[in-house]
Each structure stands twice: as structure tokens, then as C-alpha cells.
């Protein structure tokens, strides 16, 4: 397998790997390192890539495990929390500030969720995987995934409505 072949295989999901890593590790730098690590691991095991029927699902599983390990390890104590800047061109400044604030809130709320729910929410609501795929990636049954997802969604919305009310009144 040449480098070009490898890049073609990896290209479609490398951003997904990065976003999942960032969801779990919060810091952009940490997520970048993790993604790099995952891609290098794939590259070094390129002979085996053809054996996996779903490289993407395999990579996502690998990312999840890697990030959880990372969080457990001592190095994780050096994690930095970095916020991205969100922009919206269509709204007025007043609204934009407000919106930025609430969008920021979403990420804060998600950050506070249990790891399991974080991963499932990321895979479903952001990456839009089918439940079957998520079940394969996380080695869980679909009902458990639905339950966790429902909990995560409800928590986010509850907290969002709360912050909104506090913000206004």
C-alpha cells in the first residue's frame, strides 16, 4: 500500500476521529496529538487494514479507547481547556454575543456529561452515525445506546433552558 492509498482510506474519517478526540480530551492540542497517534498506528499496521471490514468503525473504536486511556493516565493532568471561537455571520452583534454564549454553553454542558454519553452523543448527533454503526464501534447493544442518548439529550436541553431563563430573568 502506498501513502496515497492510505491517505485515500483515512481521508473520509480523519476529521471524525479528531472531533471525537476533542470531545473527550477537550483541548485542541491533545486531540491533534491523539489523532496523529491513531493515524500513525493505522499506518504502521497497514498490512492488517485490508482485513478489517470497516476501517472507519475500527478507527473510531481505537480513538475512543485511546482517549479514555489518555484521560486515565497521569499525563492527562496536564490537559488544557481551550475554547474554539464560534461565528455566525447572519445575526446582529447583540444576538451574536448571546448566541456565542449559548453555543458555548452547549459545549460546557456536554463536557459535564459522563464519558459514555459524551461519546454516544458525539457519534450520533454530530457525526450522524446509524445506531448499528455506533453499536459496532462501542460494542454495546442498540437499546442501551438509545437510552444513554436520550438521557444525554434531555440533560442538555434541561440545562440549556435553565441557563436561558437565568440569562433573561
Partner 1 sequence: MVLNNIEKLLEKYDNGETTLKEEQQLRAYFAQNDVEPHLESYKVMFQYYSKTKQEKFTKDVPLKPKKNNLYKWISVAAVAVLMFGAYTQFDFNKKRTIDDLSHEELLAYNQTKEAFNLLASKFSEGTTNVKVLGIVGTQFEKASEKVDYINEFSNTTNKFFKNK
Closer by beta carbon to partner 1, 47 or else 72: 47
- Least distance in angstroms from the C-beta of 41 to partner 1: 11
Q: Which residue has the cell 442501551?
A: 144
Among 26, 76, 79, 103, binds partner 1 (CB under 8 A): 103
Q: Three cell numbers at 146?
A: 438509545
Q: In degrees, to the nearest 5, what angle opens at C-alpha 78 toward C-alphas 76 and 81? A: 95
Candidates 100, 116, 94, 137; CA nearest to 23 is 116
Among 36, 61, 96, 116, binds partner 1 (CB under 8 A): 36
First-to-last C-alpha distance (Å) of the chain? 61
Q: Three cell numbers at 25?
A: 480530551
Q: Is 62 one of the binding residues for partner 1 (CB under 8 A)? A: no
Q: Is 106 one of the binding residues for partner 1 (CB under 8 A)? A: yes
Q: Is 66 one of the binding residues for partner 1 (CB under 8 A)? A: no
Q: Is 132 one of the binding residues for partner 1 (CB under 8 A)? A: no
Q: Is 26 one of the binding residues for partner 1 (CB under 8 A)? A: no
Q: Are 71 and 24 in contact (CB under 8 A)?
A: yes
Q: Are 16 and 60 in contact (CB under 8 A)?
A: yes
C-alpha span between 14 and 29 (Å, rounded) = 15
Q: Is 136 one of the binding residues for partner 1 (CB under 8 A)? A: no
Closer by beta carbon to partner 1, 80 or else 157: 157
**Binding-site size, partner 1 (CB under 8 A):** 44
The DSSP 8-state label assigned to residue 92 in this structure reads -
C-alpha span between 21 and 35 (Å, rounded) = 7
Closer by beta carbon to partner 1, 61 or else 96: 96
Q: Binding residues for partner 1, per CB under 8 A?
A: 3, 6, 14-15, 17-19, 22, 32, 35-36, 39-40, 43-44, 46, 84, 86, 88, 90, 99, 102-103, 105-107, 125-128, 130, 145-150, 153-154, 156-157, 160-161, 164
Amino acid at each position: 500500500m502506498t501513502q496515497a492509498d492510505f491517505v485515500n482510506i483515512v481521508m473520509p474519517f480523519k476529521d471524525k476521529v479528531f472531533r471525537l478526540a476533542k470531545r473527550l480530551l477537550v483541548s485542541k492540542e491533545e486531540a491533534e496529538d491523539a489523532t496523529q497517534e491513531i493515524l500513525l498506528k493505522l499506518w504502521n499496521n497497514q498490512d492488517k487494514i485490508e482485513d478489517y471490514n470497516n476501517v472507519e468503525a475500527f478507527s473510531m473504536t481505537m480513538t475512543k479507547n485511546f482517549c479514555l486511556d489518555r484521560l486515565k493516565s497521569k499525563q492527562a493532568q496536564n490537559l488544557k481547556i481551550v475554547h474554539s471561537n464560534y461565528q455566525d455571520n447572519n445575526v446582529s452583534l447583540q444576538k451574536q454575543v448571546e448566541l456565542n454564549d449559548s453555543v458555548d454553553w452547549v459545549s460546557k454542558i456536554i463536557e459535564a456529561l459522563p464519558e459514555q454519553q459524551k461519546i454516544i452523543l458525539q457519534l450520533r448527533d454530530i457525526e450522524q452515525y446509524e445506531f448499528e454503526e455506533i453499536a459496532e464501534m462501542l460494542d454495546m447493544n442498540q437499546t442501551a445506546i438509545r437510552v444513554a442518548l436520550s438521557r444525554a439529550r434531555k440533560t442538555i436541553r434541561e440545562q440549556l433552558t435553565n441557563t436561558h431563563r437565568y440569562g433573561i430573568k
